[in-house]
Copies of this chain bind each other. A is one copy, B any other.
């Protein structure tokens, strides 16, 4: 199998990338194949040629970003050994930027959630992704407890609490509630985590200069599945 699918791969990627952009801009249900085609610089027919239907296109686009997100998160966390710092970084990179510029990832989660309400397949994948994410947090917590940095609380409960707190706050930030900006979001998350773990995390927050995401993770894995 797979004799010379070089160009095919490339094209599929380009189209997926275009699809993601369009979904962020126009929303999942109102994204038209023609939009994606135009953004990718080709014809609508080609898009349907690679992905048999609009629905499959959108589904693959969502899996694509899910993979990308998790790899990015994983990447950002490796190389840091202090559990406190890992937790602080994890929180910091979860805060959507203030301007309506690059919070595209969060916008995608919104779309994912509403789609998951009706599409069981999406629901399954989303739940799996979120479990992995919470497990990552829980691991950091356990690390810190082993090293004595953190107090002893149930790591899974705290992971769920933190992940949920982040989600809920991100909603406000992304929707530009004037009372809730990224700074306040970060502070509240750090305080909540610190309160539970009995530690002051504010000292571990990374310099904001390196905070902007390192662009293009170029994920070479396909749908991780559970």
Name A's B-contacting residues (CB within 8 A): 26-30, 107, 110-111, 113-114, 116-118, 123, 126-127, 130-131, 157, 160-161, 163-169, 171-172, 174-180, 184, 188, 191-192, 195-196
Contact = CB atoms under 8 A, between A and B. Distances in A.
Contacts of A178: 127
Q: How many of these chains are in the complex?
A: 2
The 7 A-B pairs with the shortest beta carbon distances in the complex, nearest first, are A164-B168, A167-B168, A168-B168, A29-B29, A164-B169, A127-B177, A110-B114
Given A118-B27, A167-B171, A188 B157 contact: yes
27 contacts: A27-B117, A29-B29, A107-B117, A110-B110, A110-B113, A111-B114, A113-B113, A113-B171, A114-B114, A117-B175, A123-B175, A123-B176, A126-B175, A127-B176, A127-B178, A130-B172, A160-B172, A160-B179, A160-B180, A161-B192, A164-B165, A164-B169, A164-B188, A166-B168, A167-B167, A168-B169, A195-B195
Contacts of A113: 110, 113-114, 171, 175
A157 to B, nearest CB: 6
A203 to B, nearest CB: 19
A62 to B, nearest CB: 14
Contacts of A184: 160
A98 to B, nearest CB: 15
A169 B160 contact: yes
A7 B14 CA distance: 56
Residue from A117, A164, A168, A196 whose CB has the most chain B CB atoms within 10 Å: A164
